Chain A
């Protein structure tokens, strides 16, 4: 069962077009919302006139931001609907609710708003200038949690500090020092399904939300926290989700749907993003500027790292704070460095606000570090993989936040590098000139990631039995397209020693009946959800054995469960089929004992701690997955154009639970990394308005443009994970942008430190422009 390429449980529904997503669930009598959004990136709102909108037939209400509480997960800085002023292009200023989507849109077109444009802030470095306009004047008075440190009267929403070792010592031991800066603007996730939600408020106060989200349980909690609703009265439903990539981790449209429903006396209201709105109104992929300084001995042992991450969190901090903290936690990349100074800042700009993006701050962090590693190797005249191998982090070393690594909580980076080296034939060639114009080059990188999630985050699972002995599995992990629910079924099938076809997976989430899984983020579905499933299975096994012990007149400890039976260990001929006890047991005379078997389990990550404010010391996550990546390109020296020929990721996943699903995750992640690095970016005008919020002009990589992908695995088990499996949903992506930039830098003979790598960008770098 473990490792088999089981076809995902929802596959048949998906390939026949029968799978239902949030926006497919239209209902008679449902109202529709249209969002009125800001054409300015920074402006005062003087007046909002919506009388004309209200006069459109079918328009029921116009909701504005007046009197609403501020929201935000770590720092409450965001009005759900802008009031007083707008801080990014695309920000919601009003919601028009009507009988049909068209009426709502017509109404929205008639809402008149008087703005007074303000000077804008267009990059993190600009935001730090002494004379930069303040985006949040009241930063000092916002509510926040204990581990968020805004700096009032600046544009800094949060700063994470890492102070490890002794920098003076590190620099004094360094014989070779390099410094480099990198940058990229915000971009988007472009999930196929745009974000959407519905809300309905019932006369008894029950609030039913249906949302395309990675965080159904967080929606429930936040609606309670923000609006004072009883948490038990908020019920969130999440059907299949058409891609999340972190963009559906934040809670945004759900709040709007709730507010809109409230404005029409609780009627059901649907809020649904057009593609254009989804790209800029809802949270985006974070931008970053960074400077990395590395020092090492002549033989390449890194002694010191000074790292400054300036993240473009956009207009509101929300999840961006957490993303910038995650980048700090793993700031050095997977290398043993004793002396580390890192400041990671979440900075306000007048850009769309940021959310997690697959790998949660790591592909960003890795781009900075891995460019620096290549530049260091060049200065040393050392082989690029050799330098990485030499400094590879190993059991016995400590992370930047001083977690001591052991054979379980970190994967085997040298093994990943070794395998990569073979797969890309590194030792045969690294750069070859095919002719006067064409050159091929290979770029490499390494990466790692732990999952920085709340220290008390937990996951739950329930298994119930059917009369035929088959099992129902309910877990709070959302099926966002990763096949996680199928992997959980495999884990359960393995534990119960039963056929995967006899495990029925509940796909939809209903927060009232589905046990909670904190959020479907951070590649934690398999680990936390899997542990919860194993616990639930143990619980069910205990119950099955208890009944079987009576029926078989045997001590419980002599019984085993498997193959549809409970049997006596040393004499399997004595058994009872599970179907005969799944609902209790009925004796021949009609007496009955027991009842339906309901197994329950949960799991909370253990021993996690918040980071120390001054030094960053703390245990942010349970384990580190490590990876090695390579990208091979063919570069046209005259035109500065290129083809991506091959992308390779070797990931130490601990154990592969579903081979094809794992390969699919790694390849999918690589393609996202290549797309981000080669072509995805928002383009802003000088007033910080987004010029390309359309797939027409914001073009992701397309079918037919993909290179050859190679995904491979190393298996160093994480001892306390289900079957030793580590997180793998994001890792194929982390080092890919850096590997592409490294390959092109080698080919073009000029450092390429800005993404995305459009040929024009390379041409400019060569011209020194």
Chain B
């Protein structure tokens, strides 16, 4: 049960949402932007989230946008993971989304919520990192578009009162060869031991990881090693694993040494799959 009271607000425009946030804050409240709400609901009943005002951004038209043109795909952050999966405009993202939580939850979880979540797996970020996407952010100073690599470092870097409106990406990426592999402790639903997304842009292999460290990441050093094509695959993997940004996770999903074992095999599978496709 959620043991605190909160007011619920449903703005219909970006400006209204931003102003609401500011005015609620001025009233001394602790507002929070609300989209699918799965994390807010489940964590607040454990007293791990607190807010006395929620601002539901699902009804802002820009947050629901789904536009695909020759050059660009625009996805509203209030699109549900189910919608991302079913429209399948970006197959790699669709695959990543389809492996998160379970269907009932995916009907509710939104793209923006997954990117901004406290639960650190945030696996929809992986494809977005690979395609150098841009993030449209609304805040006090208006709406601005910024590269994901700038605003997402381990977690989303937002100023108070800012929220995610859209994600944009170059349409050329959508059809590039890709693989997404999620390996769990057991079964077909649940958090990852490791999740790896990979995309090939020409000869360049890009990879992004979740579950390996307590944040999703894409690392130029890791990619450099994985792209050292003059070396055999296992050597490339070994070198790449020496470049991880932090020691590998050790928690109830799996021990660090086992995760490492799984990660090696996953990378092996990804490299073989993408490189075999070349032939």
Cβ contacts under 8 Å, A764 to chain B: 258
| Cα-based distance from A737 to B45 in the complex (angstroms) | 35
Known contacts A106-B3, A699-B186; is-contact A760 B265 (Cβ 8 Å): no
Instruction: Determine the residue in chain B with the shortest Cβ distance to A764.
Output: B258
Most buried by B among A101, A691, A697, A759: A759
In B163-199, which residues have CB < 8 Å from any A CB?
A: 183, 185-191
Residue in A638, A696, A758 whose beta carbon sits within 8 Å of that of B186 in the complex: A758
Instruction: Determine the residue in chain A with the shortest Cβ distance to B259.
Output: A760
Known contacts A109-B3, A639-B262, A639-B265; is-contact A759 B189 (Cβ 8 Å): no
Q: Are B186 and A759 touching (Cβ within 8 A)?
A: yes
Q: Which of A148-156, A299-307, A615-623, A700-708 contacts B (4 or more CB under 8 A)?
A: A700-708
| Cα-based distance from A327 to B42 in the complex (angstroms) | 39
Q: Are B265 and A699 touching (Cβ within 8 A)?
A: no
Residue in B47, B252, B265 whose beta carbon sits within 8 Å of that of A683 in the complex: B252
Cβ contacts under 8 Å, B186 to chain A: 678-679, 699, 756, 758-759
Closest beta carbon of chain B to A592's beta carbon, Å: 58
Closest beta carbon of chain A to B198's beta carbon, Å: 18
A254 within 8 A of B: no
Cβ contacts under 8 Å, A679 to chain B: 185-187
A289 within 8 A of B: no
| Cα-based distance from A702 to B102 in the complex (angstroms) | 10
B117 within 8 A of A: no
| Cα-based distance from A697 to B190 in the complex (angstroms) | 8
Known contacts A102-B3, A639-B265; is-contact A702 B254 (Cβ 8 Å): no
B277 within 8 A of A: no
Residue in A109, A639, A696, A758 whose beta carbon sits within 8 Å of that of B47 in the complex: A109
Cβ contacts under 8 Å, B42 to chain A: 696
Cβ contacts under 8 Å, B3 to chain A: 102, 105-106, 109
Q: Are A101 and B1 touching (Cβ within 8 A)?
A: yes
| Cα-based distance from A109 to B4 in the complex (angstroms) | 12
Closest beta carbon of chain A to B122's beta carbon, Å: 16
Cβ contacts under 8 Å, A101 to chain B: 1
Q: Are A699 and B187 touching (Cβ within 8 A)?
A: yes
Q: Are B1 and A704 touching (Cβ within 8 A)?
A: no
Q: Are B1 and A705 touching (Cβ within 8 A)?
A: no
Cβ contacts under 8 Å, B46 to chain A: 276
Closest beta carbon of chain B to A344's beta carbon, Å: 30
Instruction: Determine the residue in chain B with the shortest Cβ distance to A679.
Output: B186
Counting residue pairs across A and B whose Cβ atoms lie within 8 Å, the total is 52
| Cα-based distance from A349 to B255 in the complex (angstroms) | 25
Instruction: Determine the residue in chain A with the shortest Cβ distance to B103.
Output: A704
Cβ contacts under 8 Å, A639 to chain B: 183, 262, 265
Instruction: Determine the residue in chain A with the shortest Cβ distance to B251.
Output: A691
A763 within 8 A of B: yes
Closest beta carbon of chain B to A672's beta carbon, Å: 15
A391 within 8 A of B: no
Residue in B1, B187, B253, B255 whose beta carbon sits within 8 Å of that of A105 in the complex: B1
Cβ contacts under 8 Å, B47 to chain A: 109
Instruction: Determine the residue in chain A with the shortest Cβ distance to B266.
Output: A639
Cβ contacts under 8 Å, A683 to chain B: 252
Q: Kindly supply a per-residue 1/0 record for chain A positions 681-710, scoring 1 wherever the CB is within 8 Å of any chain B CB and 0 otherwise.
A: 001000000011000110101101100000
Residue in B45, B252, B262 whose beta carbon sits within 8 Å of that of A691 in the complex: B252
Q: Kindly supply a per-residue 1/0 record for chain A positions 299-341, scoring 1 wherever the CB is within 8 Å of any chain B CB and 0 otherwise.
A: 0000000000000000000000000000000000000000000
Cβ contacts under 8 Å, B262 to chain A: 639
Cβ contacts under 8 Å, A109 to chain B: 3, 47
Chain A: how many interface residues by the 8 Å CB criterion? 27
| Cα-based distance from A756 to B186 in the complex (angstroms) | 10
| Cα-based distance from A44 to B29 in the complex (angstroms) | 39
Cβ contacts under 8 Å, B45 to chain A: 274
Q: Are A760 and B187 touching (Cβ within 8 A)?
A: no
Q: Kindly supply a per-residue 1/0 record for chain B positions 227-262, scoring 1 wherever the CB is within 8 Å of any chain A CB and 0 otherwise.
A: 000000000000000000000000011110010011
Q: Are B261 and A763 touching (Cβ within 8 A)?
A: yes
| Cα-based distance from A738 to B17 in the complex (angstroms) | 58
Instruction: Determine the residue in chain B with the shortest Cβ distance to A636.
Output: B265
Q: Are B254 and A760 touching (Cβ within 8 A)?
A: yes
Known contacts A699-B187, A705-B188; is-contact A692 B258 (Cβ 8 Å): no
Cβ contacts under 8 Å, A760 to chain B: 185, 254-255, 258
Known contacts A109-B47, A692-B252; is-contact A704 B265 (Cβ 8 Å): no
| Cα-based distance from A699 to B190 in the complex (angstroms) | 8
Q: Kindly supply a per-residue 1/0 record for chain A positions 35-75, scoring 1 wherever the CB is within 8 Å of any chain B CB and 0 otherwise.
A: 00000000000000000000000000000000000000000
Closest beta carbon of chain B to A682's beta carbon, Å: 10
Most buried by A among B3, B42, B47, B254: B3
Instruction: Determine the residue in chain A with the shortest Cβ distance to B185.
Output: A758
Cβ contacts under 8 Å, B258 to chain A: 760, 763-764
| Cα-based distance from A639 to B252 in the complex (angstroms) | 19
Cβ contacts under 8 Å, A699 to chain B: 186-187, 189-190
Q: Kindly supply a per-residue 1/0 record for chain B positions 16-57, scoring 1 wherever the CB is within 8 Å of any chain A CB and 0 otherwise.
A: 000000000000000000000000001001110000000000
| Cα-based distance from A102 to B6 in the complex (angstroms) | 13
Cβ contacts under 8 Å, B252 to chain A: 683, 691-692, 697
Q: Are A705 and B265 touching (Cβ within 8 A)?
A: no
In B256-275, which residues have CB < 8 Å from any A CB?
A: 258, 261-262, 265
Q: Are A705 and B187 touching (Cβ within 8 A)?
A: yes
Q: Kindly supply a per-residue 1/0 record for chain A positions 226-248, scoring 1 wherever the CB is within 8 Å of any chain B CB and 0 otherwise.
A: 00000000000000000000000
Q: Are B261 and A702 touching (Cβ within 8 A)?
A: no
Closest beta carbon of chain B to A433's beta carbon, Å: 19
Cβ contacts under 8 Å, B183 to chain A: 639
Closest beta carbon of chain B to A252's beta carbon, Å: 21
In B191-233, which residues have CB < 8 Å from any A CB?
A: 191
| Cα-based distance from A756 to B187 in the complex (angstroms) | 13
Cβ contacts under 8 Å, A704 to chain B: 188
Q: Kindly supply a per-residue 1/0 record for chain A positions 626-645, scoring 1 wherever the CB is within 8 Å of any chain B CB and 0 otherwise.
A: 00000000000011000000
Q: Kindly supply a per-residue 1/0 record for chain A positions 371-402, scoring 1 wherever the CB is within 8 Å of any chain B CB and 0 otherwise.
A: 00000000000000000000000000000000
Closest beta carbon of chain A to B84's beta carbon, Å: 20
Cβ contacts under 8 Å, B254 to chain A: 760
Closest beta carbon of chain A to B2's beta carbon, Å: 8
Q: Kindly supply a per-residue 1/0 record for chain A positions 429-444, scoring 1 wherever the CB is within 8 Å of any chain B CB and 0 otherwise.
A: 0000000000000000
Instruction: Determine the residue in chain B with the shortest Cβ distance to A642.
Output: B186
| Cα-based distance from A233 to B42 in the complex (angstroms) | 42
Cβ contacts under 8 Å, A701 to chain B: 187
| Cα-based distance from A616 to B252 in the complex (angstroms) | 41
Q: Are B189 and A702 touching (Cβ within 8 A)?
A: yes
Closest beta carbon of chain B to A202's beta carbon, Å: 29
Instruction: Determine the residue in chain A with the shortest Cβ distance to B188.
Output: A705
| Cα-based distance from A756 to B252 in the complex (angstroms) | 14
Cβ contacts under 8 Å, B1 to chain A: 101-102, 105, 274
Cβ contacts under 8 Å, A105 to chain B: 1, 3
Closest beta carbon of chain B to A638's beta carbon, Å: 6
Cβ contacts under 8 Å, A697 to chain B: 191, 252-253
Cβ contacts under 8 Å, B188 to chain A: 702, 704-705
In B73-128, which residues have CB < 8 Å from any A CB?
A: 102
Known contacts A102-B1, A109-B47; is-contact A702 B255 (Cβ 8 Å): no
Cβ contacts under 8 Å, A756 to chain B: 186
21 CB < 8 A contacts A-B: A102-B1, A105-B1, A105-B3, A109-B3, A274-B45, A276-B46, A638-B265, A639-B183, A679-B186, A683-B252, A692-B252, A696-B42, A696-B191, A699-B186, A699-B189, A699-B190, A702-B189, A705-B187, A758-B185, A758-B186, A759-B186
5 tightest A-B CB contacts, nearest first: A105-B3, A679-B186, A760-B258, A683-B252, A691-B252
Question: Contact residues of A with B, CB < 8 Å?
Answer: 101-102, 105-106, 109, 274, 276, 638-639, 678-679, 683, 691-692, 696-697, 699, 701-702, 704-705, 756, 758-760, 763-764
Apart from A106-B3, A639-B265, A705-B187, what 18 extra A-B contacts exist at CB < 8 Å?
A101-B1, A102-B1, A102-B3, A105-B1, A276-B46, A679-B185, A692-B252, A696-B191, A697-B252, A697-B253, A699-B190, A702-B189, A705-B188, A756-B186, A758-B186, A760-B255, A763-B258, A764-B258
